[in-house]
C-alpha cells in the first residue's frame, strides 16, 4: 500500500500542493483538465465517507475519495 | 425595413463548461438563433447572427463546452472536428471566440493555448471579470494579451458588460497568434513529435494544425493504436509505436508530458501578469456544506423534486382552466356558426377537442421546463449529480449519468443528447437505455388528466395534497425502475466496473432571465408545434375512425363500439384485459406509441364522439360517467387510472426517442431492445399492480 500523503487524507480547509497523479492515464488526464495537476494548490472543502469536494484555483471539483487517494500531495504554508 | 445583412464571416464560440459561453452567445445573437443537430449526431447545434449597424453580419456557432481539443467524450469530439473542418455540412470556421472564466484563468488558458495552436484567428473574452475582482484577483489584461498575442476583451456576459467591445473585436481585431506552439517539450520528445507531424502531413495528407494535434494525441493517449486505424496510415502508426517505445525507454511519462509542458508555459505567463486573490469563505462554500451533506443533501434534493411536481400541479390550474375554457368557447363558436354535419363534428370533436385537450397542459409543461432550467442554471444540477453519485455507484454508473436522467424529466431526447458527455461507451449506452424511464413532460398530460379525474384532492399532513403526492410517486417509480434496470444491465449485457467520478461543480449563480426565457420559449414552441401537427393529424384521423362506418344503433356508445376504431379496439382488448384496460384505453395506448400525450387527444376524441353533442372540454366527467353496459359499473376506476399511469411510467411510447437512439447507436438493435424491454416491463408491472389492487377495491 502506498504510504505517500494523499488528497483523500488531507484535512478540510488545509491547502496542499499536488505532487503527483497516480490515477490511471484517462483519469489523470481528466484531473489535469479540471486543474488538478502537478504543482497546483488544492484545498479539501467537503468530505464524506466515499466522496469529497476540493477547491483548486477558483473551481470546485467533486471526486470519489478512491481517486483522491491516488493524488499525492504535500502540505503548504499559505 | 432594414436591408438584408451582408454575411462576412463564420465564427465559432469555444470555452470550458460553465464559463458563461452560452450566455454570451445569447446576448450577442438575441433571439436570432437556429437550433439543430450536427449531421449524424444529436449534439445540439446552435447558430445565430451578430448583425452590425452598417448591415454586415457574422454568423456564430455555439460549440459544446470542452476542456481540451484531445477529446474524452463524443461532445468534445464535435468541437475538435468543427475546428479542423472535419464535419460534414459544417465548414471550418473563419475564427474563434474563446470564452474564458477570468476567475479561473490558469486552467482556462490551457484551452486558449490549444486554440492558438490551431492557427485559427481568435479573440479572447475574459468573462466573469466581476467574479475575479470579487475574489481579489488582479489581471494585467494588456500584458496577458501581449504574451499570448491575441486580442482580449474583459466581459461580464450576464450583465452585458464588454459585449459591445467584444463585437468590435470580433470584426476588427481577430487574428492568428504568433504565440502558437511556444510551449516547449524536451528536445528528444520535440524531435519525435515533429517527425510524426511531418509523416501525417506527407503520408496522410493532413493539414498542419490537425497533424500537430493528431501527433500529440497519438503520443500521449493511453488508447491503443488500433483505435486510430481509420484515421492514420500503417506507416504513421508504426512510427508512433517506435516513438512511444523510445520515450518509455528514456523514462518519460508520455501520458502527462504534453499537458505538463503546456501547463508550465501557462503557469509562467500567469505568474507574470495575474495576482491571485485571497480566498475567503463564500456563499458557494456555505451552500455546498448543506446541499452535498450525506443526509441533508438527499432530503433537499427529493424535497425540491416533490415541491416542483406539487407546484406544477397546483400553480398551473388557473391558466390551464383558461386555456380549456378558450377551446370550449371556440368549439361553441364553431357550433353556433356552422350547420350540423360531419364537417362541424370533425372540427369540434376531432380538431378542437383533440388539440385543446393537449394544449391545455402547456402551463404545466412551461413550469416543468422553468424549474429544470433554474436547476441547471443555478449550478445545483452538478450538486445533484454529486450526491446521487453514491447511489449511481451502487448500480454501476457514476453521478454524471444522473444529469442526462434529470434532463429526461423534460424530454428523453435532450436527455439522450446529454449522455454525450459520458466518456465510457458502455455507461453511455446504459444511461441512454434508462433515460426514457424518467417522467418526461409528455407524460404530464396523461398523469394530470387521470389524477384530476380520479384521485381526490385531499390534504395529507396539512400541507401535501394527495394529487401532488401521487404525481411525485409516479416520478419516483420511474427513478426506482431506472436504477434497477441500470443495475441489471451493468450486471448482464453491459458488464463493467463503475467508472471514476470526477466532475466540476460550478459556483452558484442567479440564473440569467434572458437565458431561462429563451430556453423556455424554445421548449414551449416545440410543444405547440407538435400539438399543431402530429396531435392535430392524429385527432382528425381518430375522429374519422371513431365516426365511420355510420350505423343505426340507438346510442352513441353502440355506434362508437361498431366504428372502425371500436372494431380495432375489440381485437386488442383481450391482450389488455389482464391489465384492467378496455378497448378505448387500448386505442389510446396504440396511437400514443407516436408520443405519449397523443393518449389524451385520442381519448378526448373518442369520448367526444361518444358524447355526440356533448361538451368537448369536459373529458374528466365523461370518463367518470362511462359505465360498462354489461355490469353497470364505471369503466374507469381509481385502480384503472393508477394502472394506466404505471403503464405510462414504464412504457416506451415515443417514436422520436427511438429515432434518436437509432442515430446515437448507429443501428436498430438497441432501440428495438429498448422498446421491447420497456414494453415488457410496463406490462408485467401493471399486471401485478392491477392484480394486487383488486384485493383492495
Pairwise CB contact (< 8 Å): B389 & A29: no
Q: Are B119 and B231 in a shared domain?
A: no
B101: pLDDT strictly greater than 60:
yes
For residue B584, with 0-12 CB atoms within 10 Å meaning exposed, 13-18 middle and 19 or more buried, which class applies? buried
Q: How many CB pairs under 8 A join A and B?
A: 124
Residue B425 resides in a domain: no
Residue B205 to chain A, least CA–CA distance (Å): 29
Whether residue A76 lies within 8 A of chain B, CB to CB, comes out as no
Residue B460 resides in a domain: no
Residue B221 to chain A, least CA–CA distance (Å): 8
The pLDDT of B164-175, averaged and rounded, is 93
Among the partner-chain residues B67, B267, B285, the one whose CB lies closest to the CB of A33 is B67
Rounded Cα distance, B682 and B443, in Å: 14
Residue B128 to chain A, least CA–CA distance (Å): 12
Output phi, psi for B87, to 5 deg.
Answer: -105, 130
Specify whether the CB–CB gap between B118 and B208 falls below 8 A. no
Q: DSSP characters for A20-69?
A: EE-S-HHHHHHHHHTT--TT-EEEEEEE-SSEEEEEETTEEEEEEHHHHT
Residue B286 to chain A, least CA–CA distance (Å): 10
Q: What is the pLDDT of residues B595-612, one digit of tens each?
A: 788 888 888 888 887 776
The pLDDT of B582-603, averaged and rounded, is 85
Pairwise CB contact (< 8 Å): B110 & A33: yes
CA angle B612, B615, B616 (to 5 degrees): 85
Predicted confidence band of residue B119 (pLDDT cuts 50, 70, 90)? very high
Q: Which residues of B touch A49 (CB under 8 A)?
A: 294
Predicted confidence band of residue B39 (pLDDT cuts 50, 70, 90)? very low
Whether residue B294 lies within 8 A of chain A, CB to CB, comes out as yes
pLDDT for residue B492 = 92
Predicted confidence band of residue B563 (pLDDT cuts 50, 70, 90)? confident
pLDDT for residue B58 = 94
Whether residue A59 lies within 8 A of chain B, CB to CB, comes out as yes
Find which of B505, B506, B507 to mutate to test the A interface (most A CBs within 10 Å of its CB). B505
pLDDT for residue B229 = 87
Pairwise CB contact (< 8 Å): B504 & A34: yes
| Listed ranges B261-270, B587-596, B662-671; the one with the highest mean pLDDT | B261-270
Q: What is the pLDDT of residues B372-401, one digit of tens each?
A: 888 888 889 889 999 988 888 888 888 888
Name which of A18-22, B127-131, B181-185, B641-645 the model is least confident about.
Answer: B181-185
Q: Are B91 and B148 in a shared domain?
A: yes
Other Cβ atoms closer than 10 A to B23: 24
Residue A6 to chain B, least CA–CA distance (Å): 16
Name which of B68-77, B469-478, B526-535, B685-694 the model is least confident about.
Answer: B526-535
Other Cβ atoms closer than 10 A to A21: 23
Q: What is the pLDDT of residues B233-259, one digit of tens each?
A: 999 999 999 999 999 999 998 988 999
Q: What is the pLDDT of residues B189-243, one digit of tens each?
A: 999 999 999 999 998 889 999 999 999 999 998 888 888 888 889 999 999 999 9
Q: CATH assignment of A7-75?
A: 2.30.30.90
Nearest C-alpha neighbor of B14 from the set B59, B66, B70:
B66
Q: Last residue of a domain, which of B251, B283, B302?
A: B251
Output phi, psi for B565, to 5 deg.
Answer: -70, -35
Low-confidence ranges of chain A (pLDDT < 50): 78
Predicted confidence band of residue B582 (pLDDT cuts 50, 70, 90)? confident
Pairwise CB contact (< 8 Å): B390 & A45: no
The residue ranking higher by pLDDT, B163 or B38, is B163
Whether residue A31 lies within 8 A of chain B, CB to CB, comes out as yes
Q: What is the pLDDT of residues B394-422, one digit of tens each?
A: 888 888 888 888 878 877 877 887 787 78
Q: Which of B641-650 are b and which e, b meaning 16 or more Cβ less than 10 Å from the residue's Cβ?
A: bbbbbbbbbb
Whether residue A20 lies within 8 A of chain B, CB to CB, comes out as no
Q: Are B26 and B133 in a shared domain?
A: yes
Q: Last residue of a domain, which of B172, B202, B229?
A: B172
Residue A73 to chain B, least CA–CA distance (Å): 17
Nearest C-alpha neighbor of B308 from the set B476, B156, B185:
B476
Pairwise CB contact (< 8 Å): A35 & B107: yes
Cell of B77: 469530439
pLDDT for residue A78 = 46
Residue B29 to chain A, least CA–CA distance (Å): 28
Nearest residue in chain A measured CA to CA from B66 = A33
Residue A19 to chain B, least CA–CA distance (Å): 12
Contacts of B385 (CB under 8 A, 6+ apart): A62, B399, B400, B402, B403, B503
Q: Are B118 and B228 in a shared domain?
A: no
Q: How far is CA A17 from the centre of its chain?
A: 9
The residue ranking higher by pLDDT, B375 or B581, is B581
Residue B455 resides in a domain: no
Pairwise CB contact (< 8 Å): B399 & A28: no
Nearest C-alpha neighbor of B236 from the set B204, B207, B206, B213:
B204
Rounded Cα distance, B32 and B46, in Å: 10
CA max distance for chain B: 95
Instruction: List, as ranges, residues 158-217 from B with C-beta within 8 Å of A.
Output: none
Pairwise CB contact (< 8 Å): B288 & A45: yes
Q: Are B125 and B23 in a shared domain?
A: yes
The pLDDT of B635-651, averaged and rounded, is 94
The residue ranking higher by pLDDT, B573 or B535, is B573
Whether residue A22 lies within 8 A of chain B, CB to CB, comes out as no
Report the domain count for chain B. 2
pLDDT for residue B360 = 78
Specify whether the CB–CB gap between B454 and B359 falls below 8 A. no
Q: Which residues of B touch A43 (CB under 8 A)?
A: 279
The interface pTM score, or ipTM, of the predicted complex is 0.94
Q: Are B116 and B212 in a shared domain?
A: no
User: Domain limits of chain A?
Assistant: 7-75
Length of chain A in terms of residues written: 78
pLDDT for residue B536 = 85
Domain containing B128 equals 6-172
Q: Which residues of A touch B15 (CB under 8 A)?
A: none
Q: What is the pLDDT of residues B421-449, one digit of tens each?
A: 787 889 999 999 999 998 888 898 899 88
Q: How far is CA B349 from the centre of its chain?
A: 35
Q: Which residues of A touch B292 (CB under 8 A)?
A: 46, 48, 53, 62
Q: Are B110 and B192 in a shared domain?
A: no
Nearest C-alpha neighbor of B150 from the set B185, B180, B128:
B180
Q: Are B12 and B86 in a shared domain?
A: yes
Nearest residue in chain B measured CA to CA from A36 = B107
Find which of B72, B107, B253 to mutate to test the A interface (most A CBs within 10 Å of its CB). B107
Among the partner-chain residues A37, A62, A66, the one whose CB lies closest to the CB of B503 is A62
Q: Are B131 and B61 in a shared domain?
A: yes
Pairwise CB contact (< 8 Å): B500 & A29: no
Whether residue A11 lies within 8 A of chain B, CB to CB, comes out as no
Whether residue B501 lies within 8 A of chain A, CB to CB, comes out as yes
Residue B36 forms beta bridges with which residues? B45
Q: Which region, left, alpha or beta, applies to residue B279 given φ > 0 means left and ψ of -120 to 50 means alpha? A: beta
pLDDT for residue A2 = 60
Is residue B87 helix, strand or coil? Answer: coil
B657: pLDDT strictly greater than 70:
yes
Pairwise CB contact (< 8 Å): B72 & A30: yes
Residue A41 forms beta bridges with which residues? A17
Residue B142 resides in a domain: yes
Nearest residue in chain B measured CA to CA from A44 = B285
Contacts of B97 (CB under 8 A, 6+ apart): B11, B12, B13, B14, B24, B60, B122, B123, B124, B125, B166, B170
Residue A25 to chain B, least CA–CA distance (Å): 6
pLDDT for residue B650 = 96
Residue B327 resides in a domain: no
Give the mean pLDDT of chain B.
86
Number of H helices and E strands in chain B, helices first, is: 32, 12
Whether residue B310 lies within 8 A of chain A, CB to CB, comes out as no
Contacts of B46 (CB under 8 A, 6+ apart): B22, B25, B33, B34, B35, B61, B62
Q: What is the pLDDT of residues B311-370, one digit of tens each?
A: 877 788 788 889 988 988 998 899 899 888 888 888 888 888 878 877 877 888 888 888
Q: Which residues of B touch A56 (CB under 8 A)?
A: 107
Residue B130 resides in a domain: yes
Amino acid at each position: 500500500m502506498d504510504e505517500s500523503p494523499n488528497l483523500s487524507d488531507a484535512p478540510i480547509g488545509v491547502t496542499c500542493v499536488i505532487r503527483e497523479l497516480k490515477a490511471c492515464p484517462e483519469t489523470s488526464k481528466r484531473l489535469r483538465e479540471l486543474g488538478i495537476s502537478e504543482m497546483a494548490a488544492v484545498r479539501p472543502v467537503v468530505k464524506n465517507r466515499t466522496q469529497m469536494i476540493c477547491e483548486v484555483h477558483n473551481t470546485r471539483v467533486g471526486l470519489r475519495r478512491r481517486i483522491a487517494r491516488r493524488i499525492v500531495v504535500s502540505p503548504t504554508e499559505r | 425595413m432594414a436591408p438584408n445583412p451582408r454575411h462576412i464571416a463564420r465564427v465559432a464560440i469555444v470555452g470550458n463548461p460553465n464559463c458563461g459561453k452560452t450566455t454570451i452567445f445569447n446576448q450577442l445573437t438575441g433571439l436570432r438563433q437556429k437550433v439543430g443537430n450536427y449531421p449524424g449526431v444529436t449534439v445540439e447545434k446552435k447558430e445565430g447572427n451578430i448583425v452590425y449597424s452598417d448591415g454586415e453580419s457574422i454568423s456564430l456557432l455555439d460549440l459544446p463546452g470542452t476542456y481540451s481539443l484531445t477529446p474524452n467524450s463524443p461532445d468534445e469530439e464535435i468541437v475538435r472536428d468543427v475546428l479542423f473542418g472535419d464535419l460534414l455540412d459544417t465548414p471550418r470556421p473563419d475564427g474563434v471566440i474563446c470564452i474564458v472564466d477570468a476567475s479561473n484563468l490558469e486552467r482556462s488558458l490551457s484551452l486558449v493555448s490549444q486554440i492558438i495552436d490551431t492557427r485559427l484567428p481568435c479573440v479572447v473574452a475574459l468573462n466573469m471579470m466581476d467574479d475575479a475582482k470579487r475574489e481579489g484577483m488582479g489581471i494585467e489584461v494588456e500584458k496577458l494579451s501581449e504574451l499570448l498575442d491575441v486580442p482580449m476583451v474583459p466581459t461580464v456576459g450576464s450583465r452585458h458588460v464588454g459585449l459591445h467591445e467584444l463585437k468590435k473585436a470580433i470584426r476588427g481585431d481577430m487574428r492568428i497568434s504568433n504565440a502558437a506552439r511556444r510551449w516547449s517539450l524536451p528536445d528528444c520528445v520535440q524531435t519525435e513529435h515533429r517527425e510524426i507531424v511531418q509523416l501525417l502531413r506527407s503520408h496522410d495528407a493532413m493539414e498542419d494544425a490537425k497533424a500537430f494535434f493528431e501527433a500529440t494525441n497519438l503520443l500521449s493517449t493511453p488508447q491503443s493504436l488500433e483505435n486510430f486505424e481509420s484515421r492514420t496510415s500503417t506507416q504513421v502508426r508504426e512510427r508512433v509505436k517506435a516513438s512511444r517505445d523510445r520515450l518509455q525507454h528514456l523514462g518519460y511519462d508520455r501520458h502527462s508530458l504534453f499537458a505538463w509542458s503546456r501547463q508550465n508555459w501557462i503557469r509562467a505567463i500567469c505568474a507574470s501578469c495575474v495576482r491571485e486573490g485571497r480566498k475567503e469563505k463564500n456563499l458557494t462554500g456555505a451552500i455546498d456544506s448543506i446541499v452535498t451533506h450525506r443526509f441533508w443533501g438527499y432530503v433537499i434534493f427529493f424535497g425540491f423534486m416533490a415541491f416542483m411536481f406539487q407546484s406544477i400541479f397546483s400553480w398551473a390550474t388557473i391558466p390551464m382552466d383558461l386555456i380549456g375554457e378558450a377551446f370550449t368557447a371556440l368549439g361553441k363558436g364553431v357550433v353556433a356558426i356552422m350547420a350540423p354535419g360531419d364537417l362541424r363534428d370533425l372540427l369540434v370533436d376531432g380538431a378542437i377537442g383533440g388539440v385543446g385537450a393537449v394544449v391545455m397542459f402547456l402551463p404545466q409543461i412551461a413550469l416543468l421546463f422553468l424549474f429544470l432550467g433554474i436547476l441547471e442554471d443555478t449550478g445545483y444540477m452538478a450538486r445533484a449529480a454529486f450526491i446521487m453519485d453514491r447511489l449511481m455507484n451502487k448500480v454501476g454508473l457514476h453521478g454524471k449519468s444522473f444529469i442526462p436522467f434529470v434532463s429526461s424529466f423534460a424530454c428523453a431526447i435532450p436527455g439522450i443528447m446529454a449522455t454525450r458527455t459520458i466518456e465510457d461507451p458502455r455507461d453511455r449506452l446504459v444511461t441512454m437505455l434508462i433515460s426514457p424511464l424518467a417522467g418526461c413532460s409528455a407524460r404530464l398530460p396523461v398523469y394530470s388528466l387521470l389524477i384530476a379525474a380520479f384521485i381526490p384532492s385531499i390534504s395529507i399532513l396539512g400541507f401535501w395534497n394527495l394529487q401532488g403526492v401521487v404525481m411525485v410517486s409516479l416520478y419516483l417509480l420511474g427513478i426506482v425502475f431506472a436504477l434497477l434496470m441500470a443495475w441489471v444491465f451493468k450486471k448482464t449485457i453491459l458488464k463493467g466496473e463503475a467508472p471514476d467520478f470526477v466532475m466540476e461543480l460550478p459556483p452558484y449563480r442567479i440564473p440569467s432571465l434572458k437565458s431561462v426565457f429563451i430556453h423556455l420559449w424554445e421548449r414551449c414552441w416545440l410543444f405547440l408545434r407538435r400539438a399543431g401537427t402530429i396531435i392535430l393529424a392524429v385527432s382528425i384521423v381518430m375522429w374519422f375512425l371513431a365516426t365511420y362506418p355510420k350505423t343505426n344503433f340507438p346510442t352513441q356508445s353502440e355506434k362508437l363500439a361498431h366504428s372502425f376504431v371500436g372494431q380495432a379496439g375489440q381485437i386488442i382488448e383481450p391482450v389488455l384485459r389482464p391489465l384492467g384496460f378496455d378497448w378505448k384505453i387500448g386505442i389510446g395506448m396504440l396511437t400514443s406509441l407516436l408520443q405519449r400525450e397523443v393518449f389524451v387527444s385520442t381519448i378526448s376524441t373518442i369520448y367526444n364522439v361518444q358524447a355526440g353533442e356533448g361538451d368537448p372540454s369536459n373529458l374528466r366527467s365523461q370518463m367518470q360517467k362511462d359505465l360498462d353496459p354489461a355490469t353497470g359499473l364505471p369503466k374507469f376506476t381509481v385502480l384503472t387510472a393508477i394502472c394506466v399511469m404505471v403503464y405510462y411510467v414504464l412504457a416506451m411510447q415515443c417514436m422520436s426517442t427511438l429515432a434518436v437512439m437509432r442515430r446515437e447507436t448507429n443501428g436498430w438493435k438497441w432501440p428495438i431492445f429498448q422498446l421491447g424491454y420497456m414494453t415488457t416491463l410496463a406490462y408485467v408491472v401493471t399486471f401485478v399492480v392491477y392484480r394486487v389492487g383488486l384485493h383492495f377495491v
